[in-house]
Amino acid sequence: MEDFHPNLLGCQLTFISPEKMTACDVVFMALPTAAALEYAPKLISMGCKVIDLGAAFRLKKRNDWEAVYQHRHSAWKLAETAIYGITELHQEKIMQTKMVANPGCFASAAILGLAPLLNNKLIDLQRIIVNGLSGTAGAGAELNRAAHHPEINNNLIAYNVVDHRHTYEMEQELSLLSGENVVVHFTPTYVPISRGILNICHVFPQSKVTRDQLLEIYQLFYDASPFVKIIDTPYEENVSWQYRSYPWVSSVAGTNYCYIGLDVDEKRNRIVVFSVLDSLGKGGAQVGIENMNLMFGFDRTSGLTALGRHPA
């Protein structure tokens, strides 16, 4: 285990092959699509609760899913009943389900960042731009060109520039919130940090609104959400500290938090929303723990107050 996770030195955990797995209370699945479609129904019928960290059960439109993932969906019944695991939106349903589809990292950040605006019908639904910036750990543990240090170290690498898979998750959840069809224009770029995502969302208000009004709406919307924090530091002219008015991705690295900040260009009529999270934390493994806590009636924050991270 330490070979793959050097920070777990001395942990005494071991790998076993999935065939040797016996019934257990909960399974966190992180599998290729075909394997996920095969194992998930089996595990559910064995009586396990399942939290799938992959993408096999995230979309509610079968046509979309099959087109996007280029695969026939052989367990659609289960997909229909799986709950999309954004705890801030679907807490009640997660508490009662046996099957959670953990959201994509970019999708989590975008949905959390934009939800209050759509819930309050404040913006143009056809011009939502999500400019995503991701650390290299988001590219996976496997070696790949975009995460090769000599290539990315002094570089910024755009990829899947249009029609990225996570776009469909964003559109699904934001449409649900607004009650209307939402179009999301999403483009991701790798940046040379290890962990974390910053989504910069550019949206256009239907009528005049100020930064303070929006901050109040956001505070209210996330009032009962222990893992979302709104940055309401006043904007300051002092250049050294004005940065504090927006969330820093370094502040949430290794945690289950999503920090959100925003600003309004009153002259040109635009809202900019910043949302940050760790793609391996609130955008990955840790939100899986949060979902488990809800599914089993545990304290929602159990196991999520300490940091623990590899890679650094």
Q: Which residues are catalytic?
A: 105
Q: Residue 34 corresponds to which tokens in the numbers above?
A: 């075909």
135 belongs to the binding site for its own copies (CB under 8 A):
yes
Residues in the chain, overall count: 312
**Alpha-carbon distances of 182 from 130, 161, 198, rounded to whole Å:** 13, 19, 21
Q: Which is nearer to its own copies, 108 or 136 (CB)?
A: 136
Distance CA(81)–CA(104), nearest Å, equals 18
User: 276 - beta bridge partners?
Assistant: 198, 259
Looking at 95, 205, 233, 300, which residue binds its own copies (CB under 8 A)?
Answer: 233
Shortest distance (Å) from residue 5 CB to its own copies:
9
Distance CA(190)–CA(135), nearest Å, equals 6
Which range of residues in 24-32, 43-51, 113-121, 154-162 is near its own copies by CB under 8 A? 154-162
Q: Which is nearer to its own copies, 6 or 47 (CB)?
A: 6
Backbone phi and psi for residue 14, each to the nearest 5 degrees, phi listed first: -135, 160
Q: Kindly report the number of other CB atoms within 10 A of residue 232's CB atom.
A: 16
Looking at 163, 179, 180, 298, which residue binds its own copies (CB under 8 A)?
Answer: 163
Q: Which is nearer to its own copies, 81 or 242 (CB)?
A: 242
198 belongs to the binding site for its own copies (CB under 8 A):
yes
225 belongs to the binding site for its own copies (CB under 8 A):
no
Backbone phi and psi for residue 129, each to the nearest 5 degrees, phi listed first: -105, 125
Which range of residues in 90-98, 132-140, 285-293, 294-302 is near its own copies by CB under 8 A? 132-140
Residues 164-193 that bind its own copies (CB under 8 A): 183-185, 187, 189, 191-193
Residues 62-121 that bind its own copies (CB under 8 A): none
Residues 239-298 that bind its own copies (CB under 8 A): 239-244, 246, 248-251, 253-254, 259, 263-265, 267-268, 270, 272, 274
**Orientation of helix 105-119 relative to helix 211-221, angle to 10°:** 110
The closest alpha carbon to 52, from 284, 241, 296, 276, belongs to: 284
